Structure 1
Amino acid sequence: MASIGFVGLGVMGLPMATRLAGAGHRVVGFSRGSKNRKRAAAAGLELADNAGGVANGADVVITMLPDTPDVEAIALGPDGVIAGMRPEAVFVDMSTIQPSTARALHAAGAEAGVAVLDAPVSGGEAGALAGELSIMVGGEADALASVTPVLQAIGTTIVLVGGPGSGQVVKAANQMMVAAHLQSLAEALVFLRAHEVDLESATTVLAGGLAGSTVLNRKKRAFLDADFTPGFRLALHHKDLGIAAQAARRAGVALPLAGLIGQLVQATIARGAGELDHSALYDLTLELNGHSSNGSHL
């Protein structure tokens, strides 16, 4: 069993850390927010007083943080987590950040003698709770092999997709595809509604055919019940689409659909839905067609 330091105990991080502890690993966690620390303590996790405290003696340090600056602040510099880790330990950043920053983390790790993996996840809160995340990994195969027994407690699909930063590139592609699925489902439901088709039965048969998807299976109830309780906040998805857009510009590729959906996400956030689930895209699509889901959540 490994000694694991875990930084970031929010919607995704807490169930991930809890599953790791449940698998028999020693987990020492840290979160900057007092609310998250209280939730983690109530879940029985051991807590450090600061981020550096999780690195002391750890075999593996995992970060699950909201954005690129958060990871940079925690991981880099003379007081960062990487500098505090013992040589030959492995730093696994499971946040969704800029690929260029992921490569900087790898470089910092190389200087400190610490292996680094960028390993963002897909599956949302439901996947974290069930231990069924998809983990896309950038880095060295030997480093991944050494932490695979740890990652198997939180993910069912663990794939090395390339060198440093590659995991973040694949995650950006994932977020583009998920946003496209969400918007497509929103428009399909508005179309079905206009023709007075029963939405429950229609989505059941769609899920069984080529139009079926994990997005449809997991988000169907949110759409049909207009329940946008956040499993993955729209504001975070907007951030991820910004990462994809920036990386696309650097690579010199045109992604017109991703750009359009990014604007629709921005418009939905402008209506006050940033803290709601990303399925709240449905609300904007309804409004564009003169309807409303129920209006009580905005």
Structure 2
Amino acid sequence: MSKIGFIGLGIMGRPMAGHLLDAGHQVTTVARPRGLDEGLAAKGMKELASPKAVAEQAEIIITMVPDTPDVEEVLFGENGVIEGLQPGTLVIDMSSIAPVPTQEFAQRIAKAGGEYVDAPVSGGEGGAINAALTIMVGATQEGFVRAQPILEIMGKTITHVGDHGAGQTCKVANQIVVALTIEAVAEGLLFASRAGADVAKVREALLGGLAQSKILDVHGERMIKRTFDPGFRIRLHQKDLNLALTSARAFNLALPGTANAQQLFQACAANGGADWDHAGILRALEKLADHEIGE
């Protein structure tokens, strides 16, 4: 069994770390003011004072934090991972961050004697809880081989996409597809409701045809039941689409659907919905239509 440092115990990170503990690994994390989750503590997780302290005791470091600056701070900030990094340590970043800084982080970790892997995930809270995440990996072949047994504890579909940064590029593409599909489901259900149809029956019918998707299944149900607790927060999806649009400008690439979805998320945020589940994009469309589904 391995000694693993897991930094980032949010909605996704908590169950992911729990699976590693259940598999018999020794897992430490960085102490937080509100204390360690009782369930993780009961499974044997220990707290240490800083990322540096975690790195000093770990063979593998996993980060699962919100954004690029957060990863940089954990790895390279004061008392960061790099200050305690042991030779040969495997550093796996499972956050969703920008591809170009990811390549830079990989170079810095390699120079310090470690092996870097970017391994962002898709599947949301349910995928994390059920150890059924899709994991998109950017790494050397050696790094992928080393990381794969650990990733398989947390995920169901693990794909080595390419070298450093390729995992993050794949995740940005994923978030484009997810955002536009959620918007499409919301528009379809809103249209059906405004036309007077039973949206639950419409969704049931659509699930049997070409429009069938996991998003129609999971997020369509959220929309109908109006359960907008996250899940995956709108503000985090905004961050991912910002990565897409910033990169698109650098590539001289037009992504009109992505830009539109970002504006609808921004409308949600402007109405107090930054922490709604991203299925809450429906609410922005409902405001434009002056109609709520089910009315």
2-structure distance, mates of 1:291, 1:159: 42
2-structure distance, mates of 1:62, 1:27: 10
2-structure distance, mates of 1:293, 1:204: 15
Q: What's the TM-score, normalizing by structure 2?
A: 0.94
Q: Note if contact 1:76-1:108 (Cα within 8 Å) is conserved in structure 2.
A: no
* Cα distance, 1:172–1:255 mapped onto 2, change above 3 Å: same
Instruction: Name the residue aligned to 1:283.
Output: 283
Q: Note if contact 2:67-2:95 (Cα within 8 Å) is conserved in structure 1.
A: yes
* Cα distance, 1:15–1:33 mapped onto 2, change above 3 Å: farther
Q: Note if contact 1:9-1:36 (Cα within 8 Å) is conserved in structure 2.
A: no
Instruction: Name the residue aligned to 2:129.
Output: 129
* Cα distance, 1:39–1:246 mapped onto 2, change above 3 Å: farther
Q: Note if contact 2:186-2:220 (Cα within 8 Å) is conserved in structure 1.
A: no
**Alignment partner of 1:281: what SS?**
helix
2-structure distance, mates of 1:78, 1:273: 34
* Cα distance, 1:36–1:57 mapped onto 2, change above 3 Å: closer
Quote the offset at 1:3 in angstroms.
1.2
Quote the offset at 1:201 in angstroms.
1.8
Instruction: Name the residue aligned to 1:139.
Output: 139
Instruction: Name the residue aligned to 1:210.
Output: 210
Q: Note if contact 1:76-1:82 (Cα within 8 Å) is conserved in structure 2.
A: yes
Instruction: Name the residue aligned to 1:6.
Output: 6
Instruction: Name the residue aligned to 1:271.
Output: 271
2-structure distance, mates of 1:241, 1:58: 33
Instruction: Name the residue aligned to 1:95.
Output: 95
Listed as ranges, the gaps of 5+ residues in structure 1 are: none
Quote the offset at 1:31 in angstroms.
5.4
RMSD of aligned C-alpha atoms?
1.7
Map residues 77-96 of structure 1 onto 2, 5 A cutoff.
77=77, 79-96=79-96
Map residues 145-160 of structure 1 onto 2, 5 A cutoff.
145-160=145-160
Instruction: Name the residue aligned to 1:25.
Output: 25
Instruction: Name the residue aligned to 1:46.
Output: 46
Quote the offset at 1:264 in angstroms.
1.1
1-structure distance, mates of 2:250, 2:4: 35
1-structure distance, mates of 2:141, 2:193: 49
**Alignment partner of 1:153: what SS?**
helix
Q: Note if contact 2:175-2:237 (Cα within 8 Å) is conserved in structure 1.
A: yes
Instruction: Name the residue aligned to 2:34.
Output: 34
Instruction: Name the residue aligned to 2:258.
Output: 258
2-structure distance, mates of 1:277, 1:78: 33
What is the aligned length?
A: 294
Quote the offset at 1:83 in angstroms.
3.6
Listed as ranges, the gaps of 5+ residues in structure 2 are: none
Instruction: Name the residue aligned to 1:191.
Output: 191
Identical columns (%): 40
2-structure distance, mates of 1:228, 1:52: 37
Q: Note if contact 1:9-1:30 (Cα within 8 Å) is conserved in structure 2.
A: no
Instruction: Name the residue aligned to 1:59.
Output: 59
1-structure distance, mates of 2:254, 2:188: 26
Instruction: Name the residue aligned to 2:118.
Output: 118
